[in-house]
C-alpha cells in the first residue's frame, strides 16, 4: 500500500467520523430540529423524537469506533461502514420513492447518506 492511499483512507475515516458525530449529536440533543428538517411536526409525532435519539446513540457510537486507535475495534468499524451507509442510502431512497419525505428533505437525506457511503468505500480495508 502506498502512502497516498493510506492518507486517503485515513482522511475518509476521519471525515466520516466527523459527519457521524455531528449528526449523532444532533439526534441526541436536538431531535426536534431533525424532525422539522424532514418536514415533520415534533409535537404531532413525539415517537419521532425517540427514534432520532436512538439514531443519535447509534451514530455517535459508530463515530467513536472510527476514532479508536489502530486495532481490532477500528478495523471492525471500517469493515462494517459500507453496509451501514449503503443501507442508510437505500432506505433514504425508498423513503423518497414512497413519498414519505418532502422532496427537499428526501434529496438532502439521500445526498448525505450517499456521501457517507462514498467515504466508507474510500476507507475500506484492502482498498487498492
Residue 128 scores a pLDDT above 60: no
Record the pTM: 0.90
- Structural domain containing residue 88: 3-123
Res. 5 pLDDT band, cuts 50 70 90 = confident
> Has residue 23 been placed in a domain?
yes
Give me the DSSP letters along 4-55.
Answer: HHHHHHHHHHHHHHHHHHHHHHHHHH-HHHHHHHTT--TTT-HHHHHHHHHH
- What's the total number of domains in the chain? 1
> Has residue 9 been placed in a domain?
yes
pLDDT in tens, 65-97: 999 999 999 999 999 999 999 999 999 999 999
Amino acid at each position: 500500500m502506498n502512502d497516498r492511499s493510506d492518507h486517503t483512507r485515513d482522511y475518509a475515516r476521519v471525515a466520516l467520523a466527523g459527519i457521524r458525530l455531528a449528526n449523532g449529536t444532533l439526534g441526541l440533543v436536538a431531535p426536534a430540529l431533525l424532525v422539522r428538517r424532514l418536514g415533520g411536526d415534533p409535537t404531532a409525532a413525539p415517537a419521532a423524537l425517540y427514534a432520532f435519539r436512538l439514531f443519535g446513540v447509534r451514530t455517535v457510537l459508530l463515530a467513536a469506533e472510527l476514532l479508536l486507535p489502530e486495532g481490532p475495534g477500528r478495523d471492525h468499524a471500517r469493515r462494517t461502514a459500507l453496509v451501514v451507509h449503503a443501507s442508510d442510502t437505500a432506505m433514504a431512497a425508498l423513503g423518497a420513492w414512497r413519498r414519505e419525505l418532502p422532496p427537499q428533505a428526501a434529496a438532502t437525506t439521500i445526498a448525505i447518506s450517499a456521501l457517507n457511503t462514498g467515504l466508507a468505500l474510500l476507507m475500506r480495508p484492502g482498498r487498492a
